[in-house]
Amino acid sequence: MAKLGKAMVRRKIYALALVLAFQSGSADAQSNMTVKGFPPELPVEIAGNQWFVFLDGDIDPDAPQRFERYVTQNQIPDRSVVYLNSPGGSLVAGMELGRLFRKYGFSTDIGRKSPFSAKRFDIDKGGCYSACAYAYLGGQFRYLNQGSRYGVHQFKSLQASDGVEGTAQVVSALAVEYIRSMDVDPDLFTLSAAASANGMHEIDKATLERLNVVNNGRTRPVWTIESTDGQLYLKGQRTTAESGINKFILYCEGRRAVLLAIFDALRRDTELMNMAAHSLLIDSQVYPMSADSKRIQNGLFNVVYKLSQKEIVALRKGENVGVAVQAAYDAPIFLGFEGMSIGSGKPKLIGMLNQCVR
């Protein structure tokens, strides 16, 4: 019993150490984080049901609970946008906020509600620093309002004299694990570790995009080789703000390469089924195709194409792919998706095509 009691005490001390270690480097607290939401200003049929929610001030330990209570009480729907404007605070609470953003399917941006307008679209530039920079990563889609700033710095850790060994290493591991779980390059942590605890490293937008901190409404594609009923296929998948789920699937039928494209029908089922102009998009080139079959299933448009040799050659060389469905080839708009990066999936794509034409 005595050993158990000491172990419990050590765990409590260690937990307290982690909380302290995760505090922002901001020495002067401004105010606890406030939560204010704005529902759609136009009918749902026109503007959808997306809310704008503004979080301002220091991220205090109770901020996550306060935010979630506000979300549930107001039944704020997924795909709503959270605007952050904060100097930092508790990194533990910041990461909890980020996980809540992801749990509820929210996007994130940096900015603050204009005090001179009641309209929710009037947004001023803002700043998201320290712990806020971690909270921001929780958005499924992450944007950077023009003029807004994003900054990181080293977290404060306890000294050896505090009697807790390994705190910095544990905190570092937890922070990196969180960054990875949000599909962000862990080099972000390297940038924060390179800054002093009392300084701040503001990161430019180009770097934020390279690290996938800012994804501008598109998750990074994941390319996998999978199988069903003994049939191997290559699947590229991502999610975008404008067209929902995007899937680019290649498989073989005999010696023919077949493409199955799947994307959100956006409640335009009849319109999609009647559109006759179909195209394969590879980099900046458009390849007109004929649909072999098409259907709507669970709100997703599924369309199958048999690929020609010309299209296969283009796929082998291409870097980005997509599918466009239009009423006519000269129509100004299309449904579908474009710009899905093949990236590290290129060897898998070439391997699958080789299987079809061997």
Tokens 């309002």, located at residue: 145
Percent of the chain with pLDDT over 90: 73
- Contact (Cβ atoms closer than 8 angstroms) between residue 152 and residue 133: yes
Tokens 């309209």, located at residue: 119
Is it the case that residue 263 has pLDDT exceeding 60?
yes
Which value, to the nearest 10 degrees, does the dihedral of the CA atoms of residues 130, 132, 137, 143 take?
-110
Q: How far is 347 from 357, CA to CA, in rounded Å?
A: 16
The identity of residue 98, as a single letter, is: G
Q: Which of 165, 163, 160, 189 is nearest to 91 (CA)?
A: 189
The 10s digit of each residue's pLDDT in 212-235 is: 999 999 999 999 999 998 899 999
β-sheet bridge partners, residue 152 = 201
According to the model, what pLDDT value does residue 47 have?
Answer: 53
Is it the case that residue 48 has pLDDT exceeding 80?
no
Q: Which of 253, 231, 212 is nearest to 341 (CA)?
A: 212
Instruction: Return the number of other C-beta atoms located less than 10 Å from residue 183's C-beta.
Output: 13
- Contact (Cβ atoms closer than 8 angstroms) between residue 130 and residue 87: yes
Is it the case that residue 278 has pLDDT exceeding 50?
yes
Is it the case that residue 162 has pLDDT exceeding 60?
no
- Contact (Cβ atoms closer than 8 angstroms) between residue 182 and residue 138: yes
Is it the case that residue 49 has pLDDT exceeding 80?
yes
Q: What is the pTM of this model?
A: 0.83
Q: How far is 166 from 342, CA to CA, in rounded Å?
A: 40
β 149-152/52-56 pair status: unpaired
What is the chain's length? Answer: 358
- What is the average per-residue pLDDT within 289-314? 97
Of the two residues 29 and 104, the one the predictor is more confident about is 104
Which value, to the nearest 10 degrees, does the dihedral of the CA atoms of residues 323, 324, 329, 332 take?
-140
- Contact (Cβ atoms closer than 8 angstroms) between residue 1 and residue 154: no
The CA angle 82-87-89, to the nearest 5 degrees, is 90
Q: Output DSSP code: residue 188.
A: H
Mean pLDDT score of the chain: 88
Radius of gyration of the chain from its Cα atoms, rounded to whole angstroms? 24
- Under the banding of pLDDT at 50, 70 and 90, the label for residue 97 is very high
Secondary structure of residue 233 in the 3-state scheme: strand
According to the model, what pLDDT value does residue 4 have?
Answer: 43
**What is the H or E stretch that residue 8 is in?**
helix 2-21
Is it the case that residue 311 has pLDDT exceeding 70?
yes
Q: Which of 98, 112, 150 is nearest to 128 (CA)?
A: 150
